[in-house]
């Protein structure tokens, strides 16, 4: 078990691509929050603001065919995987042009084209499915990896450890990513977990793990690259605990009174993942004007996605009966 160290080989990495993807997630989630407040988005809505470096860094090491599966705080994962902002926003607003034709909402979107397998509303339920994807990869001998995300709260679920056991026993190519944003809904990690070094939870199953600064996309990228290579060599699963922080409440209905405003502001001021990368870009020769242009282009993309969603039609009532039973191919 070890902590990931930083790298100085910044020039070799696609920094602007990282920045663009992280900023797209940030602006998209801000707009989703606005639409929720306007009553355009119903049901549960869990925003990813503050955690952008995690999924962007990890997704950047995916190769064609690698799968991503996560829980309900999933909009950022969809966008990082390459799913259309218009399709995602349309699904959030319950429109027929959404990825699940308006029936899945925030927590239940999928894309076979981008190898994104959800979006799951039951805490921890996606982890065994992620192992199933990894089992398929091993069976097919395709060198692909299943990137399976869950939170610090889900890390205490029993099914996680059943999955750890099977993944280690069969040496499945799966990277378990624990997005530790410090709060399981409204309960801090120290109050919910007897051991807070979540990356060490695989020790009993002989699964290596490491703690990563999830607010630094470069550290995330390098740790993910190492973990994925380990899996592709047939050595079995790997655990990455991403130490990160969410700025908003657990969901849009959560006032987050279990922490102080000062605590949140301190993270924003001192360790914002996008501002951290922005500083590196400026040091490496990017100009303020270039970064402002990227931001404006993203804002336009997000505004267009929101308008597309609002203008799209709601699904017909008959759509309720589609996708329930397998169709007879005779």
- Which residues have CB under 8 Å from 251's CB, separation 6+? 44, 45, 46
What is the tens place of the pLDDT at every residue in 245-254?
999 989 998 8
Domain coverage including residue 201: 15-307
pLDDT exceeds cutoff 60 at 76: yes
Q: Which two tokens stand for residue 61?
A: 């090491």
Partnered with residue 174 across adjacent β-strands are 146
92 in Cβ contact with 28 (< 8 Å) = no
What is the tens place of the pLDDT at every residue in 235-286?
999 999 999 999 998 999 888 899 999 999 999 999 999 999 999 999 999 9
Do the domain assignments include residue 327?
no
Count Cβ atoms below 10 Å from residue 135 Cβ, excluding itself.
Answer: 17
| Percentage of the chain exceeding pLDDT 90 | 88
Do the domain assignments include residue 254?
yes
226 in Cβ contact with 22 (< 8 Å) = no
Residue-level pLDDT at 160: 97
Which has the higher per-residue pLDDT, 254 or 147? 147
Do the domain assignments include residue 206?
yes
Q: Worst-scoring range by mean pLDDT, 9-18, 116-125, 154-163, 220-229?
A: 9-18
Q: Which two tokens stand for residue 123?
A: 């805490």
pLDDT exceeds cutoff 60 at 148: yes
Do the domain assignments include residue 136?
yes
Total count of domains within the chain: 1
Do the domain assignments include residue 241?
yes
Do the domain assignments include residue 6?
no
CATH of the domain at 238: 3.40.50.970
Count Cβ atoms below 10 Å from residue 234 Cβ, excluding itself.
Answer: 12
Do the domain assignments include residue 326?
no
User: Taking phi first (over 0 means left), then psi (-120 to 50 degrees means alpha), and beta for anything else, what does residue 148 get?
Assistant: beta
> pLDDT-derived band of residue 4, with 50, 70 and 90 as boundaries?
very low
Give the mean pLDDT of the chain.
Answer: 94
Q: Which two tokens stand for residue 26?
A: 């940030």
Q: Which of 237, 183, 181 is nearest to 209 (CA)?
A: 237
Distance CA 208, CA 312 (A): 47
User: What mean pLDDT comes out for the span 62-69?
Assistant: 98
User: What mean pLDDT comes out for the span 122-142?
Assistant: 97
Could you give the dihedral angle defined by the CA atoms of residues 102, 109, 214 and 6, in that order, rounded to the nearest 10 degrees?
A: -120
DSSP assignment letter at 72? S
| Percentage of the chain exceeding pLDDT 70 | 96
Q: Find tokens 């990368």 and name the residue.
A: 277
């Amino acid at each position: 078990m070890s902590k990931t160290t930083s790298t100085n080989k910044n020039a070799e990495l696609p920094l602007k691509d990282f920045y663009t993807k992280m900023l797209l997630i940030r602006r998209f989630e801000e707009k989703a929050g606005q639409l929720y407040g306007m009553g355009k988005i119903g049901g549960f809505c869990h925003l990813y603001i503050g955690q952008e470096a995690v999924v962007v860094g990890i997704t950047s090491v995916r190769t064609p065919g690698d799968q991503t599966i996560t829980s309900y705080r999933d909009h950022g994962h969809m966008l990082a995987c390459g799913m259309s902002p218009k399709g995602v926003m349309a699904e959030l607003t319950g429109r027929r042009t959404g990825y699940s034709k308006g029936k899945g909402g925030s927590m239940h979107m999928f894309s076979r084209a981008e190898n994104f397998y959800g979006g799951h509303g039951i805490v921890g339920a996606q982890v065994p499915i992620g192992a199933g994807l990894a089992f398929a990869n091993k069976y097919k001998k395709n060198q692909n990896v299943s990137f399976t995300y869950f939170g610090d709260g889900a890390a205490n679920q029993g099914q996680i450890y059943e999955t750890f056991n099977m993944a280690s026993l069969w040496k499945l190519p799966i990277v378990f990513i624990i997005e530790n944003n410090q709060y399981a809904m409204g309960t801090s990690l120290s109050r919910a977990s007897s051991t807070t070094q979540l990356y060490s939870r695989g020790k009993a199953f002989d699964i290596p793990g490491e703690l990563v600064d999830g607010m630094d996309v470069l550290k995330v990228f390098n740790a993910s690259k190492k973990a994925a290579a380990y899996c592709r060599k047939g050595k079995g699963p790997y655990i990455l605990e991403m130490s990160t922080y969410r700025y908003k409440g657990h969901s849009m209905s959560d006032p987050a009174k279990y922490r102080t405003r000062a605590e949140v502001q301190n993270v924003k001021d001192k360790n914002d993942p996008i501002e951290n990368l922005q500083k590196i870009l400026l040091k490496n020769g990017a100009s303020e004007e270039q970064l402002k242009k990227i931001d404006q282009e993203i804002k336009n993309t997000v505004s267009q996605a929101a308008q597309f969603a609002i203008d799209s039609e709601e699904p017909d009532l008959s759509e309720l009966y589609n996708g329930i039973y397998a169709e007879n191919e005779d």
